[in-house]
Structure 1
Amino acid sequence: MKKKMLAATLLTSLLAACGGNSTSIVGAWVEPVPGMEGQVQGINIEEGGIASSVNMATLVYESWKQEGDQLVLTGKSIGNGQTIEFADTMAIKKLTPDSLILDNQGMEIRYAKQK
């Protein structure tokens, strides 16, 4: 009986350690704008599946959802007189309280949480 309880306790602890990343993806995530000192751009991820762009007039995020380790962002790309709807699916490589690293088809995007 004691062995079963010990095994169950160890299994529960192992599952909690492996699977339970409780860090929330909700927040404003930004990266430096290449070639523009002191400027940032990124994504604002809000509760309820709402997303918006940070300092990106031509890439308008509208919604988001998380499916396992995948982040799906939807919105509109605006440029050259055209508006194109999109849905980007990116792998969440790392999520901490102050860092979000996404893999967008082999291109790594490193965001910091905006304070």
Structure 2
Amino acid sequence: MTRTILGLLLMGLISLGACKENKNTEEKKLKKEGLEKSETLVNKQLLVGSWLDTSESQLHFSMLQDGTARSDNMATLLYQKWRVEGSKLILTVKSIGNGSSSIDEESYEIKTLTEEKLVLQNGDYSMGYTKKMIKE
């Protein structure tokens, strides 16, 4: 009887150790991807819509439900696609200035995201946007 109880206790401890290892592996994976455990994933639905640049540049853009994006008032910088990886917004951009064109990806840390406000950061540079409200 004592042997059975000890055996069950040992199996329980091994199971707990395996669960702890699995949790540690997941935390390492999140950190490797640049995410902290405390970060929440971005609500992609809040990103869908037209965003108005609050700076003097007024570089407005829209992100559509199907993952496509568009520049709303930029002639030489054309947004084509968007996606979210963790807490980063990745925009595929086509630059068509000076007679040549190139396609690149721009990555921004999402610092603030609400139904009305978006703040993106790239290094030390921070950009603020407000969502364009549709008049009914």
Q: Distance in 2 between matches of 1:109 and 1:101?
A: 6
**Counterpart code for 2:40:** G
Distance 1:45 1:86, change over 3 A: same
Q: Distance in 2 between matches of 1:52 and 1:88?
A: 14
Deviations 1:68-113 (A, max 9, x none): 1100000201111011111001000000110000002221000010
- Write the mapping of 1:1-115 to structure 2, written as runs, cut at 5 A: 19=40, 22=43, 24-32=46-54, 34=56, 40-115=58-133
Q: Give the drift of 1:21.
A: 6.1
Distance 1:21 1:72, change over 3 A: closer
Q: Distance in 1 between matches of 2:80 and 2:65?
A: 12
Overall identity of the aligned pairs, in %: 35
Mean alpha-carbon deviation: is it higher for 103-112 or for 25-34?
25-34
Gaps of 5+ in 2: 1-38
Distance 1:91 1:114, change over 3 A: same
Q: Which has the higher helix share?
A: 2
Tell me which stretches of 4 or more aligned residues in structure 1 moved more than 4 Å: 20-23
Q: Give the drift of 1:20.
A: 6.9
Q: Distance in 2 between matches of 1:84 and 1:91?
A: 23
Asked if structure 2 preserves the Cα contact closer than 8 Å seen for 1:30 and 1:54, the reply is no
**Counterpart code for 2:110:** I
Distance 1:54 1:19, change over 3 A: same
- How many residues were matched structurally? 94
**Counterpart code for 2:89:** L
